[in-house]
């Protein structure tokens, strides 16, 4: 794929993603007439990339604003977002159309949790680190493989991976 094609795809993807955020704002998180907004989604984040983490959280926020009940599973380096006191190396700049200006993935994650999202680290995250459960931010859990597998197998629950 050429650089020009890659750039075009990236720009189109960005426009779609930020369009979703605008759509969430337009709907205000309320159910459309005659449509229940009790859908669920599982977002699995493993990337250590600041922009990937940020975009995953921005999209999760848009889904939540549109009425989706979210469960976030943080694995590998993305699990660091769940550690109390962890701070991203730098904030992410949002587009001019978004009044937030600068955000961090962990800041958006905490906002999502405040609005009811369930956030867990992978079951193997802590056993592969030099610290225990006490380092996790308040409200962050440890995912059990069985319930996560149930969500992943449920055809009515979309699974998004970043």
* Cα distances (angstroms) measured from residue 31 to each of 25, 116, 118: 13, 17, 21
The strand pairing partners of 120, in sequence order, are 73, 141
**Helix %, strand %, coil % for the chain, to 5?**
45, 15, 40
Task: Summarize pLDDT for 18-50 with one digit per residue, the tens.
Answer: 433 433 443 444 444 444 446 999 999 999 999
Give the residue extent of every domain in the chain.
Answer: 3-27+38-161
pLDDT of residue 38: 62
> What is the Cα–Cα distance from 83 to 85, expressed in whole angstroms?
6
The strand pairing partners of 119, in sequence order, are 72
pLDDT of residue 95: 74
What residues contact 71, with CB distance under 8 A and at least 6 apart?
40, 41, 42, 43, 117, 118, 119, 120, 151
Q: Domain 3-27+38-161 belongs to what topology?
A: Hypothetical Protein Ychn; Chain: A, (3.40.1260)
> What is the Cα–Cα distance from 133 to 54, expressed in whole angstroms?
24
Numbers of helices and strands, H then E, in the chain: 4, 7
Low-confidence ranges of the chain (pLDDT < 50): 1-37
């Amino acid at each position: 794929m050429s650089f020009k094609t890659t750039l075009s795809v990236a720009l189109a993807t960005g426009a779609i993603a930020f369009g979703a955020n605008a759509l969430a704002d337009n709907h205000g998180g309320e159910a459309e007439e005659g449509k229940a907004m009790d859908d669920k989604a599982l977002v699995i984040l493993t990337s250590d990339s600041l922009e990937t983490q940020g975009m995953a959280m921005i999209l999760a926020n848009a889904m939540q604003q549109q009425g989706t009940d979210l469960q976030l599973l943080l694995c590998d380096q993305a699990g660091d977002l769940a550690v109390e006191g962890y701070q991203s190396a730098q904030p992410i700049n949002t587009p001019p159309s978004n009044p937030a200006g600068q955000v961090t993935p962990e800041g958006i994650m905490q906002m999502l949790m405040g609005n009811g999202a369930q956030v867990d680290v992978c079951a193997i995250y802590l056993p592969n680190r030099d610290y225990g459960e006490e380092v996790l931010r308040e409200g962050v859990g440890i995912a059990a493989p069985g319930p996560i597998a149930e969500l992943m197998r449920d055809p009515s629950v979309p699974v998004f991976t970043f």
